[in-house]
Amino acid sequence: MEEPIKARFSENARYVLRKRYLRKDDAGEIIETPEEMLWRVAGAVAGPEAKWGGDPDEWAKKFYGVMAALEFLPNSPTLMNAGTPKGQLSACFVLPIGDSMEEIFGSLRATALVHKSGGGTGFNFSNVRPSGDRVRSTSGVASGPISFMELFDHTTEVVKQGGTRRGANMGILEVSHPDIKKFITVKKESRKLSNFNISVGVTDAFMKAVGKGEDWDLVNPRTGEKTETVPAAELWDMLIDGAWKSGDPGVIFLDSVEAGNTVPACGKLHSTNPCGEQPLFPYESCNLGSINLMRVTDDGGEIDWDKLERTVRVSVRFLDNVIECNNYPMKEIDAMTRGNRKIGLGIMGWAETLFARGVRYGSKESLELAEKTMGFIQRTGHDESEILAGTRGSFPNWKGSVWEGQNRPMRNATVTTIAPTGTISLIADCSSGIEPVFALAFRRKAFDGDTLVYVNGFLQKALERLGEKSAPILEKVLVNGTLDGVNVPRRIREVFVTAHDIPYREHVETQAAFQKYTDNAVSKTVNMPNSAAPGDVRDSYMLAYSLGCKGITIYRDGCKDEQVLYHGTDGARAAKKQTDKGGRAKPRQRPANLVGNTVKIRTSFGNLYLTLNMFEGEPFELFATLGKSGKDTQAHTEALGRLISLSLRSGVPARDIIAQLKGIGGSLPVCEDDGDGIILSLPDAIAQGLERALGETVEIKSGDMCPSCGAPLAHEEGCMRCVSCGYSRCH
């Protein structure tokens, strides 16, 4: 066998690997190279080959080969944990939610264990009795599913996933639950559930009721009795309004999900993982992996089908082996996962594949290629799973499955999934999943203070053919990251589109094209411009339903920014600015007397006292004092207060300051005394204190910069993530 190739990671990829994936010693020092990481993973995953008479060394080389060539990469927990004592390799989990305290708190414990191991969790809260319902054991009334979701949210905030990944959750409530109106509006009216993506589970019956203008019954899950009858269109309009205003909730089409249930004897599929692409049974997990299409195509974007077939077969075998060597966080998860042996093989690099071919994202040609490519991957993946079943046996729950009905032995109940590839796509140096690119160029702050410039390579090549004209064009592209307002040939403008250049219909049609040949589901965000109307959201949801999608998530650019104010004030007012002769901002002079108020916030360093003084009805200065802390910590706190005061006096809106500080993590997060929130760090405490002093809640908007590297944050695949370093707010 030829000597395995040496991995050729880009500098950006190596930065991501150093930051999140490479092993470190107790002092936090990196103790392996990227190549050693791949050998660690390949060796661990090849180990089970001996169980069926295979050669682990031979397969370790093959597994290393596809990863080093960046043709295939598994999900992040596998890269992080394979070959380590932790050994938990799955990304997706679903846990049950019962109606008793014992069941709920049992699942809460399971959630903490899963998040600690590096996984994300999905739940369906529809079995929880509604708020106000009777609790016989205490002669009291129930608090409802949302109150328990808040409990899971707090737990997620406290448990940092294995030191490398933040916890992420999917919360689903079915449209017939009596608390559905509260659920639809929960993220619009408060800053709670920040660690949840939420989706409404809708049925074919509900969609028909909406279409016919019929009424819809809300039913108590405890008693089965009708509690209220409402117009179906009223609920639908509430859902659309919430998604338009804040991006939440999304929609899960439960009957479409169930239609893809290959093992109905195990029950119905009611829940998914955090980004919605993996429907699972309670206590079931799934390990995912993605093929980088750019590594199986030539310079013109033509797919090498033989190479793709070889990559699919090796990848399916790799993922099936992961099930064997995985160290599951609970015995129930171990049993359920091994019972069905679900895997999820998908793709990444779709946007670059289209760039290379000169095909516009969302065009008819792109949709035909999507179906052809995913159809090939699915057929090949199923064939390889059948071959593995011949030597290893079918998955244990094969009896009664769809596959038994086809008289087809299969090693895996499902084979294909289009998953989020936010961080592994950065390692593979390609675009994420089947998403369009978010920007054609952007700048990123480097740790040495320099600014690094990233320009899409395919665009750069196209512009180089224009000769001297390319330099000023590139400079304009760097201003806003797109070709908006740039004079380029029509062909270049048509091909090099970004997420917000693409009509919502083409986003949905792309998702549907891939869904047609995907066993599980597809992770995709339908990006919309800020100018999109609620009717556009409604039409996109209806289109997704009619085309057979299993769910849909939309995000209207800047929508979070429109819900800054939740209690007590009349809106953010622009600060009065004074400038010097050069037009630069000039801090206003401080009057002798100012009026303000003081708030106290508990931190891991003691109580933080913030005094915000007002002038002419606007925030003017901030004093920050930290009790019972060391001199250095107090000095840092005072310095932050002085800089914030200078910013306020120079006309910087308080909400912009809050947005910059809010959510910054630290090593010692603490729960607040009233149990109503988490303080992540001193900067986060100051941001939350400013919110309370002002009576405002600031939601972070899509235009924010990454707190790790300063590059833009994009809303893709159901989550806010950095386009450069892989930082993510939900996984």
Question: Active site includes 520?
Answer: no
- Provide the 3-class DSSP secondary structure of residue 224: coil
Domain that holds residue 485: 453-496
Owner of token pair 């009223």: 234
> What pLDDT does residue 474 have?
81
Compute the C-alpha angle 124/127/133, nearest 5°: 130
Tell me whether residue 91 is in a domain. no
User: For residue range 605-623, what is the model confidence (pLDDT) as tens digits?
Assistant: 888 888 888 887 788 888 8
* 591: pLDDT strictly greater than 90: no
Please tell me which residue in 49, 277, 384, 717 is annotated as part of the active site: 277
How far apart (Å, rounded) are the C-alpha atoms in residues 106 and 387?
39
- Whether residue 466 is found in the same domain as residue 584: no
Told to judge if 277 belongs to the known catalytic residues of this protein, a careful annotator would answer yes
* 685 and 582 within one domain: yes
The 10 Å CB-count burial string (b at 16+, else e) for 55-74 is ebeebbbbbbbbbbbbbbbb
pLDDT at 402 (0 to 100): 98
pLDDT at position 376 is 98
Cα–Cα distances in Å, from 313 out to 280, 383, 385? 24, 9, 9
Q: Which helix (H) or strand (E) holds 243?
A: helix 232-246
Is residue 671 within 8 Å of 663, Cβ to Cβ?
no
Specify if 7 maps to a domain: no
Quick one: 486 and 604 in the same domain?
no
pLDDT of 548:
97
State in Å, rounded, how far the first CA of the chain is from the last one: 38
Residue 203 tokens, joined: 């049925």
d(CA 404, CA 398) in angstroms, rounded, equals: 6
Catalytic residue among 75, 195, 273, 527: 273
pLDDT, residue 628, reads 61
Residue labelled with tokens 């920014």: 561
Residue 644: inside a domain: yes
Task: Please list, in sequence order, all residues whose beta carbon lies within 8 angstroms of the beta carbon of residue 265, skipping any fewer than 6 positions away.
Answer: 397, 399, 400, 401
Token reading at 105: 């708190």
Residue 666 banded pLDDT, cuts 50, 70, 90: low
Q: Tell whether 101 is covered by a domain.
A: no
485-533 pLDDT, tens per residue?
888 899 999 999 999 899 999 999 999 999 999 999 999 999 999 899 9
Same domain, 572 and 692: yes
* Cross-strand bridge partners of residue 228: 218
* pLDDT, tens only, 359-415: 999 999 999 999 999 999 999 999 999 999 999 999 999 999 999 999 999 999 999
pLDDT confidence bin for 651, thresholds 50/70/90: confident
Only one residue has tokens 């400013």, namely 690
In a domain? residue 459:
yes
- Does a cis peptide bond (omega within 30 degrees of 0) precede residue 249? yes
The vertex-124 CA angle with 123 and 128, nearest 5°, equals: 120
Pairwise CA distance, residues 442 & 355, whole Å: 18
Tell me what the pLDDT averaged over the chain comes to.
Answer: 87
Residue 464 in any domain: the answer is yes
For residue 523, tell me if it sits in a domain.
no
Q: State the pLDDT confidence band at 726, using cuts at 50, 70 and 90.
A: low
Q: Which of 443, 469, 496 corresponds to the end of one domain?
A: 496
Question: Which range has the worst mean pLDDT, 31-35, 138-142, 330-334, 685-689?
Answer: 138-142
Neighbour tally for 494: CB within 10 Å: 15
The pTM of this model reads 0.81
Specify whether 468 is located in the same domain as 573: no
What pairs with residue 454 in β-bridges?
442
Q: Do 717 and 432 form a contact (C-beta atoms < 8 A)?
A: yes
DSSP 548: T
Q: What share of the chain is helix, strand, coil (3-state, %, to 5)?
A: 40, 20, 40
How are beta strands 120-124 and 670-671 bridged, if at all?
unpaired
Question: Active site residue: 92, 275, 286, 719, which one?
Answer: 275
Query: Is the model more confident about 564 or about 157?
Result: 157
Domain assignment present for residue 707? The answer is no
Q: Identify the pLDDT of residue 668.
A: 66
Spatial CA neighbour of 126 closest among 141, 106, 148, 153:
148
Total domain count, the chain: 2
